[in-house]
């Protein structure tokens, strides 16, 4: 009985303390929502009004829940709840396979749901020209009626034929799942199987429960979202400092958009933020408090992350920035170097498999992609490397920064074509305040700051260079990179930037409260933007 009374008092107190933050939240989402409205929405506003009412109530409940757990030791609970609440709405409201490359990710997840961890390519290499041609549907062997590709199910055609449609645009979302085997020409063969296990579990449940075909996508997205929320909750719990900056990066709109899809990017972002949180835990630990097992855990996280995206293997070098006196073992550097060598060796071995696997996809034909020929071209044209470096630190970097509130449209020729200027600027201001000038910033020595900056640059340049080899036409520099590739790097900024802002004590103490309210506000804005964009 006493526990019940205690919970009641906590809830009552949270209601009282959070009321003024409700007002801030409601004003914020009203302004941001108004900036997304077009003439189309004014003609038939019922869906938009209903969505606003839902996120308004949901946001108030999440803010109240935060004030019930208003301590750094319980922020991880808030992280899980807010990601699940707004992520599920995103999973349901975003049109069918509308996220970048989501159809191909869905194909791989469906294959995984069959218990096939490594997709099997059916057909010889000499048949590739039969599979791909230069048409809009060239990436899909099912459209071309050929006998090579990866075996999936006939329901794949529902998603192919309804890309960018909502469930209101098609009568076939209520069809039953069709298990007739067919072949699809691309299934992200080069990606590790564990990146699709959460989605596969959701798809398996849709099959097991004999649900309608749309639930393959919806439960796949929700399974991915739950895994992401778990990773971020674990990261926020493990980090001994900078919990709110980590949460801010984990919940910016573009991140939730990816987390609530069937894309492997959700796993990459979640593992990336977890690796940074674990590094902060190691760095801020008491001298002599760490065991050798912490090295193994960090290397394992870095390896799982790096196999999903090879350039992120560089995160393992964060180990060298942890003060060695934090460990009990005086020879800890040897174990660190051994761990780094193992991670690097496995990464090299994996790349020998994953790079050739790229040839079993539409990219090898549509883009004339050939890593070895591209390398030969670069060796013969060294100035091309300088142009590449100039490009990635000007045009491409600008695209990354501008893509914080910019979402893929599967059938839109410009793809990332949203123009939410006000919201984007507000996100810039919020992230600058929270990542660069966080008032509760903790100290890192100059070695940690410079070392982290070097790792950030290695990952950024490495990611762009891999794209140059595996995406761009030979002799060209179009990279196909977007903000989603680099989200974990944003979480490194509070470690790199040493500046502090002197704020009044009262505001300094309340900063986290305002930050969490704005985090929830941006997540609500994401849902409202989808309502006005797609409905």
What does DSSP assign to residue 329?
-
pLDDT of residue 500: 64
- Which residues, 6+ apart, have CB-to-CB distance to 83 below 8 Å? 225, 228, 229, 232, 233, 250, 251, 256, 259
**Helix, strand, coil: what percent of the chain each, to 5?**
70, 5, 30
pLDDT at 144: 42
- Which DSSP symbol is given to 491? T
How far is 42 from 48, CA to CA, in rounded Å?
A: 9
CA dist 442 and 431 (Å) reads 17
**Angle of helix 75-93 relative to helix 243-251, nearest 10 degrees?**
0
For 273, the token pair is: 């933020």
Phi, psi of 176 (to 5 degrees): -75, 160
Q: Determine the pLDDT at residue 133.
A: 40
Place of tokens 């090898």: 364
| Mean pLDDT of successive 10-residue stretches along the chain, which has 535 residues | 46 81 96 94 94 97 89 90 98 95 96 95 57 40 60 95 93 95 92 97 98 98 98 97 97 97 98 98 95 96 97 97 93 94 96 85 70 90 93 93 87 77 96 91 92 98 94 86 95 88 72 95 97 94
pLDDT digits (tens, 9 = 90+) for 188-244: 999 999 999 999 999 999 999 999 999 999 999 999 999 999 999 999 999 999 999
Give every CB contact of residue 32 below 8 A, 6+ residues apart in sequence. Answer: 422, 423, 426, 521, 525, 528, 529
Nearest to 377 by CA among 480, 479, 474, 461: 474
- Give the per-residue pLDDT at 324: 93
SS3 184: strand
Structure tokens at 120: 């099997």
Classify residue 434 by its DSSP letter. Answer: I
Are 496 and 452 within 8 A, CB to CB? yes
Q: What is the pLDDT of residue 378?
A: 92
Name the CA dihedral angle for 25, 166, 401, 269, rounded to a multiple of 10 degrees: 90
Q: How far is CA 314 from the centre of its chain?
A: 18
3-state secondary structure of 235: helix
Return the pLDDT at 288: 93
Q: Which residues have CB under 8 Å from 196's CB, separation 6+?
A: 105, 108, 109, 112, 262, 264
**Phi, psi of 257, deg, nearest 5:** -55, -45
E strand or H helix at 182: strand 181-184
Q: What is the DSSP letter of 333?
A: H
DSSP H or E run through 378: helix 371-380
* Cα distance between residue 464 and residue 478, in whole Å: 10
Count of residues in the chain: 535
Compute the distance between CA of residue 481 and CA of residue 399 in angstroms, rounded to an integer.
9
Give the pTM.
0.93
3-state secondary structure 108-167: HHHHHHCCCCCCCEECCHHHHHHHCCCCCCCCCHHHHCCCCEEEEECCHHHHHHCCCCCC
Domain extents in the chain: 102-215
Helix, strand, or coil (residue 65): helix
Alpha carbon distance 273, 251 (integer Å): 11
CA-to-CA distance for 342 and 321, rounded, in angstroms? 18
CA separation (Å) from 273 to 248, 488, 521? Answer: 11, 6, 21
The CA-atom distances, in angstroms, between 399 and each of 409, 427, 475, 482 are 16, 15, 22, 7
Q: Name the CA dihedral angle for 164, 167, 172, 173, rounded to a multiple of 10 degrees.
A: 110
Q: What is the pLDDT of residue 264?
A: 97
pLDDT of residue 489: 98
pLDDT in the model for residue 130: 41
């Amino acid at each position: 009985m006493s526990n019940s009374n205690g919970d009641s008092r906590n809830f009552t107190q949270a209601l009282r303390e959070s009321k003024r933050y409700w007002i801030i939240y409601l004003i914020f989402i009203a302004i941001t929502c108004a900036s997304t409205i077009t003439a189309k929405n004014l003609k038939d506003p019922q869906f938009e009004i209903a969505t606003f009412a839902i996120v308004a109530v949901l946001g108030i409940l999440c803010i109240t829940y935060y004030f019930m757990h208003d301590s750094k030791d319980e922020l991880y609970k808030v992280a899980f709840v807010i990601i699940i609440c707004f992520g599920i709405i995103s999973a349901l409201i975003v049109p069918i396979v509308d996220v970048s490359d989501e159809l191909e990710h869905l194909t791989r997840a469906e294959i995984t749901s069959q218990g096939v961890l490594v997709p099997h390519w059916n057909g010889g290499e000499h048949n590739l020209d039969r599979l791909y041609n230069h048409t809009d549907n060239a990436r899909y062997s099912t459209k071309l009626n050929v006998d090579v590709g990866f075996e999936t199910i006939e329901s794949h055609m529902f998603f192919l034929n309804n890309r960018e449609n909502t469930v209101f645009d098609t009568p076939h979302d209520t069809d039953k799942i069709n298990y007739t085997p067919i072949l699809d020409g691309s299934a992200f063969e080069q990606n590790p199987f564990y990146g699709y296990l959460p989605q596969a579990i959701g798809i398996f449940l849709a099959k097991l429960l004999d649900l309608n075909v749309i639930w393959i996508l919806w439960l796949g997205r929700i399974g991915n979202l739950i895994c992401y929320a778990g990773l971020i909750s674990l990261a926020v719990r493990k980090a001994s400092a900078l919990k709110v900056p980590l949460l801010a990066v984990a919940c910016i709109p573009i991140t939730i958009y990816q987390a609530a899809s069937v894309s492997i990017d959700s796993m990459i972002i979640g593992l990336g933020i977890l690796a940074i949180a674990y590094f902060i835990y190691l760095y801020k630990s008491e001298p002599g408090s760490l065991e050798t097992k912490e090295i193994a855990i960090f290397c394992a996280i870095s390896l799982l992350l790096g196999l999903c995206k090879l350039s992120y293997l560089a995160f393992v070098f964060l180990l060298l920035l942890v003060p060695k006196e934090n460990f009990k073992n005086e020879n800890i550097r040897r174990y660190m170097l051994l761990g780094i060598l193992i991670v690097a060796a496995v990464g090299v071995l994996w790349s020998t498999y994953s790079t050739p696997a790229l040839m079993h996809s539409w990219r090898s034909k549509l883009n004339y992609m050939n890593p070895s020929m591209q390398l030969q071209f670069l060796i013969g044209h060294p100035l091309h490397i300088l142009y590449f470096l100039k490009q990635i630190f000007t045009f491409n970097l600008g695209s990354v920064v501008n893509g914080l509130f910019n979402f893929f449209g599967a059938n839109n020729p410009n793809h990332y074509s949203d123009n939410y200027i006000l919201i984007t600027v507000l996100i810039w201001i919020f992230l600058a305040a929270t990542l660069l000038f966080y008032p509760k910033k903790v100290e890192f020595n100059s070695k940690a700051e410079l070392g982290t900056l070097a790792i950030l640059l290695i990952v950024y340049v490495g990611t762009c260079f891999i794209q140059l080899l595996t995406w761009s036409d030979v002799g060209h520099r179009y990279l196909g990179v977007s903000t989603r590739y680099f989200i974990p790097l944003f979480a490194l900024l509070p470690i790199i930037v040493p500046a502090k802002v002197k704020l009044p004590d009262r505001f300094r103490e309340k900063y986290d409260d305002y930050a969490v309210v704005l985090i929830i506000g941006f997540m609500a804005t994401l849902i409202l933007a989808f309502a006005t964009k797609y409905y």
